[in-house]
Chains A and B, each alone.
Chain A
Amino acid sequence: MEPEPLVDTVTLGRAASSTSVGFDEFYLSEMGRLVALARSLAGVAVAEDIAQEAMLVAYRRWREVGALQRPDLWVRRTCANMAVSQFRRRVAELRATTRLTRRRPDATPEPMSERAEEFWDAVRTLPHRQAQAAALRFVYDMPIAEIAETLGCSAGTVKQHLSRARQALSVALDLQDRSD
């Protein structure tokens, strides 16, 4: 492993403190819903891990990410991609297993009602892009244009994903879709 290049410690200190303050505010404002997004797409066992890992990536790159116009969309996209990746979830689940077994009983994830769990289970069975679009819509109440920007696709594609997601969810949950 190559050593990190020497830097001016005073500059680094100033940069680090201002970076840390900006990130802390970002973290506190975003983290709650980020965990919700991760849980909606990947389930309760790995939600905390995935959300934390997305934030870890953001922290490491905060100099660049913090300068983006919408760092919140950046981290939501990171989290959403991590959550639907079967391969990446493999390691996340390994970590989550260890963390869950070490948690105090009062720190275990709170359950939701059966019907709510059923709903999110159905979301997780959707094709990845439909699930991501649906989760972003529900969790953040995002407009179409913002979902499109987050996922890196067109508004038309997002509309298509949402429409198909609604149809599939209605069938899976035996519900009427009043948007028809």
Chain B
Amino acid sequence: MDLDELARGATRELLDVTSAGVAQRRTLLDQTRRRRRIGNAAALTALVTLMAGGLLLVTAPPDDRDTRPARPIGEGHGTALVTVNTAGQIHALDGDVAVGVPREVHALSPIDFTSDGTRVMFQAQDGSLRLVDLRTGGSRSLGACAERWCDADLSADGRFVAVGSGGLDSVIEIRPVGEGRIQRLPIAGAAHAPSWSPDGEHLTFTADEGLFLIGKDGRGMRLLWPASGELATGSWSSELMSMTEPASWSPDGSRIAFLATEPWDDDVSAADPIIPVRYTLTVLDLGSGATELSRYVGGCYCLNVSPPAVAWSPDGSLIAVNVVDNGRRDTKGAARNAGVHVVRPDGTGWRQLTTESATWGLAWQPSMG
């Protein structure tokens, strides 16, 4: 048999198995559209109700931000900035990586350390979510994830892991690391990218409508940052581009850093079916609602380029972000050089660490002891 014969036969089989059920698929398309509209309306109603009630989940903390000059990376921070590249290799951009962190993990693995630096969570090459104790080398399973990748975040004390279950009706589960019951957060519509607050009492997550905050008991859900116009329409492209990356908390829990999104072009052309997205590194004070930092960090179609990731350093003095540059020039601001950068939370001291773009994982590894 030659290639053409095999190709003809394989194509015939492929068309045979995919041609049936078109009418049923058409019905499913309508159901999908209606479901997303209902989800959007419900979330908007909830938001309006919360705003009318004047509920404030987080009280304004005292102003205890670190105003000392930022120390250079590698000097006195006692931390390393760790990334996972597209080949699934964990490596440190600066500083030392503790022994026991595996060199190769799943190519789409998240990476998350406990605040005391003793344990790390990642997705192993076999797809399972794992927690490794860096003191002993001991490893335990945190359960399975969606088919290929984990949408998960480890609490700072290492006692719980929040996992997005996946699917159109994705819910966020809170799994105890030890014994205990798995809880589901009551969120209408698909919810992704959970991120624990440092005290373990709240989480942020992303949905069609934007970035939300919720108590670990499911109470007090509120919209922190709405998704931008075209990107909040409920279409597939908009859902995907509407902030699917997790936010990162300041160590005192008073602020979050995240990547706000908006369409790259003002005029979205039908000739270009995939909406390119601009990312803006944003720091939000949860108490006052004030935006403390807003800085463009590139854009992409994100077909073969990973979207940005953001991580707040354990000592609170720096925010790391990988900047995306897909080669296009943005008329609203110069495209930055791709790679991992750090900046102080007030927007000063912007510095590029590497020209290599981080991929799925970007995390600060705290020093132990």
Q: How far is the CA of A25 from the CA of B212 in the complex (A)?
A: 40
**Contact between chains at B14 and A139 (CB < 8 Å):** yes
Q: Considering only CB atoms and an 8 Å cut-off, how many residues of chain A contact the other chain?
A: 71
Instruction: For B149, give the chain A residue with the smallest CB separation.
Output: A90
A94 to B169, CA, bound (A): 10
> Which residues of A are found within 8 Å of B58, using beta-carbon distances?
none
Nearest chain A CB to B308 CB, angstrom units: 11
Judging by beta carbons under 8 Å apart, are B240 and A88 in contact? yes
Category for how many chain B residues contact A:
35 or more
The answer to whether A60 and B14 have CB atoms under 8 Å apart is: no
Please report the C-alpha to C-alpha distance between residue A88 and residue B274 in the assembled complex, in whole angstroms. 11
Partner of B3, one of A93, A99, A169: A169
Interface of A is mostly: helix
On whether the beta carbons of B170 and A119 are closer than 8 Å, the reply is: no
**B15–chain A nearest beta-carbon distance, Å:** 5
Asked if A156 lies at the interface with its beta carbon under 8 angstroms from chain B, I say no
If A31-B22, A119-B7 touch, whether A86 touches B273 (CB-CB below 8 Å) is no
The reply to whether the CB of B1 lies closer than 8 angstroms to some CB of chain A is yes
Q: Does B56 sit within 8 A of A, measured CB to CB?
A: no
Q: Which of B3, B235, B274 has the most CB of A within 10 A?
A: B3
Could you mark each residue 31-50 of chain A with 1 if its beta carbon is under 8 Å from any beta carbon of chain B, else 0? 11101100110000101100
A1, A74, A84, A97: the one within 8 Å of B44 (CB): A1
Does chain B have a CB within 8 A of A91?
yes
Over the window 223-262 of chain B, the binary record of Cβ atoms lying under 8 Å from chain A Cβ atoms (1 yes, 0 no) is: 0001101001101110110001000000000000000000
- Known contacts A77-B273, A112-B14; A96/B147 CB under 8 A: yes
Q: A81-B274, A175-B2 are in contact. List 10 more A-B contacts (CB 8 A).
A: A45-B147, A53-B236, A58-B273, A59-B29, A65-B270, A93-B148, A93-B149, A98-B168, A176-B3, A177-B2
